[in-house]
Amino acid sequence: MRSDLTSRRAALALAAGLAVAAAMPALAQDGPKKIRIGVIGAGNIGGTIGTLWVKDGHEVMFASRHPEQLAAMVSELGPNAKAGTPEEAIKFGDAVFIAVPYKAYPDLAKEIGPALNGKVVLDAGNATQKRDGALYDEVQASGIGATSAKYFPGAKLVRAFNAANYKVFAKEGADGGKGRAGGRMAIPIAGDDPEALKVAEGLVRDAGFDPVVVGPLKEADKFAMGSQGFGHDVTASEMRQKLGLAQ
């Protein structure tokens, strides 16, 4: 009897473990699977990229400390768009997109950092000297990827959608780049978690762009603001050439 009970418990534990292990690859598959995305920050970048995901068929919750202010936007986007608080967006999303001013990262980390543990997080923030002060100095000393990872240490972090102006994303996203010679606009990305990178690659494609994996988080400096990889509206092949990556 004890042996049967032990075997049942072992089988249940194994099944639970397999379910958890399967969750991330399911997000990372290359097929047409649509996921839920929480967008922290519904401004220029968050609003633009989040809208592209909604139009592609993903469910997106745009987050604000005052979600009622987003009512007009989500109403216009239709039933796949929702508004909520940052905490609600994190619970809602299979993946999370952070698109807030970099100076907000320390406070944001205190508010929602623990809730991001284990989550795939796309990070679009850029540090500027005038606005971010000491935080900008930290980025210059440690690198943008390492600094973001410091504030969200439990997240499966991928740097993405930080290397161009939102107006370029709005112009080239979705169907905008399909007719251009050589292919769609390239979006450089970097991260340490292979499965999170796969998820990010899929979301970049779904927004209407071609992902270029630059390497681990430490390589995110290659397309940070002010770097040789920043500010280019080019194809994937051209981006790889600019960054010295294999074709």
Distance CA 119, CA 95 (A): 6
State the helix-helix crossing angle for 134-142 and 144-151, rounded to 10 degrees.
120
Q: What is the pLDDT of residues 127-182, one digit of tens each?
A: 999 999 999 999 999 999 999 999 999 999 999 999 999 999 999 987 666 656 67
Q: Is residue 145 part of a domain?
A: yes
Distance CA 187, CA 128 (A): 20
Match 């796309």 to its residue by tokens: 122
**Cβ partners under 8 Å of residue 186, min gap 6:** 209, 210, 211, 212, 232, 234, 235, 236, 238, 239, 240
Q: What is the pLDDT of residues 35-90, one digit of tens each?
A: 999 999 999 999 999 999 999 999 999 999 899 999 999 999 999 999 999 999 99
Looking at residue 187, what DSSP letter applies?
Answer: E
Binned at pLDDT 50, 70 and 90, residue 6 comes out as very low
Question: How many CB atoms lie under 10 A from the CB of residue 244?
Answer: 10
Looking at residue 183, what DSSP letter applies?
Answer: S
Query: What end-to-end distance do the CA atoms of the chain give, in Å?
Result: 61
Residue 68 belongs to domain spanning: 34-241
Q: What is the pLDDT of residues 12-21, one digit of tens each?
A: 444 433 343 4
Q: Is residue 4 part of a domain?
A: no
Q: Is residue 15 part of a domain?
A: no
Q: Is residue 18 part of a domain?
A: no
Structure tokens at 245: 């990556």
Task: Read off the pTM.
Answer: 0.86
State the pLDDT at residue 182: 72
Distance CA 125, CA 102 (A): 5
Q: Is the pLDDT of residue 23 over 50?
A: no
Q: Is residue 8 part of a domain?
A: no
State the pLDDT at residue 31: 47
Mean pLDDT, rounded, for 168-197: 86
Q: Is residue 3 part of a domain?
A: no
CA 15 to chain centre: 30
Residue 108, domain CATH: 3.40.50.720
CA 200 to chain centre: 6
Binned at pLDDT 50, 70 and 90, residue 247 comes out as confident
State the pLDDT at residue 246: 82
State the pLDDT at residue 21: 40
Q: Is the pLDDT of residue 2 over 60?
A: no
- Find the angle CA(240)-CA(243)-CA(247) to the nearest 5 degrees: 25
**Cβ partners under 8 Å of residue 192, min gap 6:** 149, 157, 216, 217
Looking at residue 177, what DSSP letter applies?
Answer: G
State the pLDDT at residue 178: 63
State the pLDDT at residue 85: 96
Tell how many helices (H) and how many strands (E) occur in the chain.
11, 8
Q: Is residue 25 part of a domain?
A: no
Do residues 77 and 51 make contact, with C-beta atoms less than 8 angstroms apart? yes
Q: What is the pLDDT of residues 89-102, one digit of tens each?
A: 999 999 999 999 99
State the pLDDT at residue 17: 38
The mean pLDDT of the chain is 88
Counting the structural domains of the chain, the total is 1
State the helix-helix crossing angle for 194-206 and 44-56, rounded to 10 degrees.
80
Q: Is residue 126 part of a domain?
A: yes
The bridge status of strand 156-159 relative to strand 81-84 is unpaired
- Is residue 186 within a helix (H) or strand (E), and if so which, with residue range? strand 186-191
